Amino acid sequence: MNVLIKNATLVNADTSERADLLTRDGIIERIAPNIELPDDSSVEIINAAGHYVIPGGVDVHTHLNIDVGIAQSCDDFYSGTVSAACGGTTTIVDHMGFGPAGCSLHHQLERYHEFARDKAVIDYSFHGTIQHIDDSILEEMESMVLEEGISSFKLYLTYGYKLDDSEVLAALERLNQLNALTCVHPENDGAIRFLKEKILSQGSNAPIYHALSRPPECEAEAVGRMINLATLAGDAPIYIVHLSNGIGLEYIRQAHQRGQAVFAETCPQYLSLDINKYNSSSNEGGASDHPYDEGLKYIMSPPLRDNYHQNQLWQGVMDGTISTVATDHCAFTMAQKHAGRDGFQYCPNGIPGVENRVPLLFSEGVMKDRISINHYVELVSTRPAQLFGLYPRKGLIAEGADADLVIIDPEREVTLSQRLMHGRSDYCPYEGMRLQGYPVITISRGEIIVRDGHFTGTPGHGEFIYRKPLDEGFRYWSK
């Protein structure tokens, strides 16, 4: 089926245009004023008057199928991508989870191809995950980038597979040679271990202590360290995932003033939820019989911060210091989260959110006049596509690009609720939040896969996308 969208406002990161748009065989074939209905019964006409049409959302931070050691996340590549599609996302780049200790990058990749094949309903790719460094890992990075289409890699400075500084330098240097982007989860592992032991030894194990054991300084220190290590590695471009605090943001701003290619991502949870959630007992959205349950819903790393940091992050979004908004979707059910009733240290880290990003940023960003509609498109679609080698196939409305399109009705009011969500988690972190504007149609490579909140797509429609290495233009910072 092909689609003719009439009377639309087509929005890109740099332009907005009133025009019609015709798709053919999954591609945008034509954009022009007043396109006549082709002599062809396989075209569905959509009247998009009063609506925005944006390039499909690109979420470059999800964790589907991930095993975090104490639990397996509840969304796989079917449920997770259905949820993404229903929220206006048409491409994800998932962070591959850990294989057995010592496993190769190619082994991880094979597992993830198996997880996603025949299940994904939207297009996808994966970031490599560096679990350890040795000669063979450094060697196989080349074929991952040049043959497998994996042009970004993630490293962790905390958790079980953390790298030390010499390993980080080795990874940065090699990935820089290969024009691959290094993504980093920055938290100071030693500081967290020290604070956690101290807090637990005092008998404090409620959800709020998860946040207090990982204060903003732990994250900011690791952001600053990564910026310096990237310089030492010959000005390697880096991508900071899930930035949650204003101190680290300031370090990034300073790096930009020196022209350093440091790209920062934040997430809707850090822009719209705060640390009070850990003390909350409001129990919105479900009956509960334990005082920790409401707080356990928000156990993630880094944790939610106070309003100071939230305001700083919005400032960073508005002034361009923050390049992208992704979700870090890592969903668990409440039954899984209940492990934290015995102490926050037992609660699996992560929250659902892949369905909420595109509508939430539209409502909180565009409708509240914090960002323009074009800047919004840049944050949720164009810039992530550019940084991760998907552009101009993704992240752009133009003739020849993939027909991945989302139609947003700015008049539609939605109160977020678990009842409306399509993933497998049984809670919504944004329960009760009122949004102004919502996606009403999602189109993936020319197929209408969501209409008015109803999923109409098929498993296996999603294709693996070979990603290109980092574009030369992103080797140095410019807005």
H or E stretch at 220:
helix 216-232
248 binds, among Zn ion, ligand URP, none (CB under 5 to 8 A by kind): none
Query: Least distance to ligand URP from the beta carbon of 80, Å?
Result: 13
Cite the beta strand spans of 110-189 per DSSP E. 123-129, 152-156, 181-185
Query: Least distance to ligand URP from the beta carbon of 94, Å?
Result: 11
364 binds, among Zn ion, ligand URP, none (CB under 5 to 8 A by kind): none
> Rule CB under 6 A: is residue 323 a binding residue for ligand URP?
no
What angle, 0 to 180 degrees and rounded to 10, lies between the N-to-C axes of helices 246-257 and 307-319? 30
Query: Least distance to Zn ion from the beta carbon of 326, Å?
Result: 9
> What token pair was written down for 135?
């000669």
228 to each of 179, 234, 237, 253, 328, how far by Cα in Å? 19, 10, 11, 14, 25
349 binds, among Zn ion, ligand URP, none (CB under 5 to 8 A by kind): ligand URP
> Rule CB under 5 A: is residue 185 a binding residue for Zn ion?
yes
User: CB 166: neighbour CB atoms within 10 A?
Assistant: 10
Q: Which C-beta is closer to ligand URP: that of 91 or that of 129?
A: 129
- Residues 326-345: x where in contact with Zn ion by CB under 5 A, - otherwise, as a string: --x-----------------
Q: Which C-beta is closer to ligand URP: that of 8 or that of 267?
A: 267
Question: What residues numbered 266-295 form the site for ligand URP, per CB under 6 A?
Answer: none
Q: Which of 186, 350, 423, 462 binds ligand URP (CB under 6 A)?
A: 350
Query: Least distance to Zn ion from the beta carbon of 95, Å?
Result: 6
> Rule CB under 6 A: is residue 349 a binding residue for ligand URP?
yes
Q: Which C-beta is closer to ligand URP: that of 10 or that of 238?
A: 238
What angle, 0 to 180 degrees and rounded to 10, lies between the N-to-C axes of helices 216-232 and 246-257? 20
Query: Least distance to ligand URP from the beta carbon of 330, Å?
Result: 4
Q: Which of 8, 13, 63, 263 binds ligand URP (CB under 6 A)?
A: 63
- Coil, helix or strand at residue 260: strand
56 to each of 8, 28, 88, 122, 286, how far by Cα in Å? 15, 13, 6, 10, 32
Q: Which of 302, 465, 445, 320 is nearest to 383 (CA)?
A: 320
> Rule CB under 6 A: is residue 326 a binding residue for ligand URP?
no
> Rule CB under 6 A: is residue 240 a binding residue for ligand URP?
no
Q: Which C-beta is closer to Zn ion: that of 328 or that of 431?
A: 328
Query: Least distance to Zn ion from the beta carbon of 18, Å?
Result: 39
User: Where does residue 62 rank: exposed (0-12), middle (13-18), buried (19+ CB within 10 A)?
Assistant: buried
> Rule CB under 5 A: is residue 154 a binding residue for Zn ion?
no
471: DSSP letter? P
Peptide bond into 186 cis (omega under 30): no
Q: Which of 12, 85, 30, 17 is nearest to 441 (CA)?
A: 85
- Number of residues counted as binding ligand URP (CB under 6 A): 8
Position closest to Zn ion via CB: 185
Query: Least distance to Zn ion from the beta carbon of 133, Å?
Result: 19
Please count the residues of the chain. 479
Q: What are phi and psi of 186, to 5 degrees?
A: -100, 110
Q: Which of 291, 302, 465 is nearest to 391 (CA)?
A: 465
Q: Which C-beta is closer to Zn ion: that of 262 or that of 401?
A: 262
Q: Which C-beta is closer to ligand URP: that of 68 or that of 144?
A: 68
> Rule CB under 6 A: is residue 300 a binding residue for ligand URP?
yes
Considering only CA atoms, give the Rg of the chain.
Answer: 21
Q: Which of 56, 116, 1 is nearest to 401 (CA)?
A: 56
> Rule CB under 6 A: is residue 65 a binding residue for ligand URP?
no
> Rule CB under 6 A: is residue 330 a binding residue for ligand URP?
yes
Query: Least distance to Zn ion from the beta carbon of 99, Å?
Result: 17
Q: Which of 119, 127, 174, 185 binds ligand URP (CB under 6 A)?
A: 185
Measured CA to CA, the distance from residue 245 to residue 74 in angstroms comes to 28
Chain residues binding ligand URP by CB under 6 A are: 63, 185, 300-301, 328, 330, 349-350
Which residues would be at the binding site for Zn ion (CB under 5 A)?
Answer: 185, 328
